[in-house]
Amino acid sequence: DSGVTQTPKHLITATGQRVTLRCSPRSGDLSVYWYQQSLDQGLQFLIQYYNGEERAKGNILERFSAQQFPDLHSELNLSSLELGDSALYFCASSAAGLAGGRSDTQYFGPGTRLTVL
Amino acid sequence: AQSVTQLDSHVSVSEGTPVLLRCNYSSSYSPSLFWYVQHPNKGLQLLLKYTSAATLVKGINGFEAEFKKSETSFHLTKPSAHMSDAAEYFCVVSDRTGTASKLTFGTGTRLQVTL
């Protein structure tokens, strides 16, 4: 158990809909990351938040957005869903301080499997 | 941009024989490199991490990896495979500037262990 929790575990919805995925980081970790794993694209970094602020952005679609709340949990919002958005969405957390070493290590949650019909 | 290349998409070994999963990296500076494992329908678990402290890194479950700068490689090995090692393995490089960080994953190597 990594200490990172994600809800829900599974989500089935229809095209055009909007969903929210939730992530709680490990105790004490300030950074939260979102990744998408799909058969055709593999594992891709979407976005990072550090202590409530966006820090790094990857291949995240404009239809997707995220935020990190004062209690450090994060939500990934996916809107106008398309069939191609079906994937496993992972959240990870790390200490991510200014130095290297342990702060680089990201611990992953169990994922949310999104199916768009 | 940093990247990793996993040279084999699928590796099959017999139980009790050595495992070698190959990874090459591309980086303009000394990178942080990781191996993660993903068992079927499970999340990603950290196996080991290299951050320039020692070139031979020992991880969990008997796995280890050696960082070779001259070959730009970070291959994952295990002396004796176990059935429970069957999973997908990802070589990963970290790109970090201050508090901004992201991981770039290789395409994965599926390890099959047969009796």
| Interface membership of A108 toward B (CB under 8 Å) | yes
B27 pLDDT band, cuts 50/70/90, is confident
Using CB atoms, pick whichever of B51, B101, B108 lies closest to residue A48.
B101
A62-80 burial: b if 16+ Cβ within 10 Å, else e: eebebebeeebebbbebee
A97 pLDDT band, cuts 50/70/90, is low
**Among residues A79, A97, A95, which one has the least CA distance to residue A15?**
A79
Residue % of chain B over a pLDDT of 90 = 73
Residue A102, pLDDT above cutoff 60: no
B101 pLDDT band, cuts 50/70/90, is confident
Residue A19, pLDDT above cutoff 80: yes
Please tell me the distance from the alpha carbon of residue A65 to that of residue A72, in angstroms, as a whole number. Answer: 16
Torsion sign, CA atoms A22, B60, B93, A43: negative
Residue A98, pLDDT above cutoff 50: no
pLDDT of residue A103: 52
- The CB density around residue A16, as the number of other CB atoms within 10 Å, is 10
Using CB atoms, pick whichever of B43, B90, B101 lies closest to residue A111.
B43
Please tell me the distance from the alpha carbon of residue B66 to that of residue B30, in angstroms, as a whole number. Answer: 14
Residue B32 with chain A: CB contacts under 8 Å: 100, 104
pLDDT, tens only, A68-89: 999 999 999 999 999 999 999 9
Q: B115 CA to chain A: closest CA distance, Å? A: 28
Q: Would you tell me which residues 63-92 of chain A have a C-beta closer than 8 angstroms to some C-beta of chain B? A: 90, 92
Residue B39, pLDDT above cutoff 80: yes
B31 pLDDT band, cuts 50/70/90, is confident
Average pLDDT over residues B87-98: 88
> Higher model confidence: residue B8 or residue B53?
B8
Residue A109 with chain B: CB contacts under 8 Å: 43
A1 pLDDT band, cuts 50/70/90, is confident
Phi, psi of B5 (to 5 degrees): -125, 120
- The CB density around residue A101, as the number of other CB atoms within 10 Å, is 13
B87-111 burial: b if 16+ Cβ within 10 Å, else e: bbbbbbbbbbeebebbbbbbebbeb
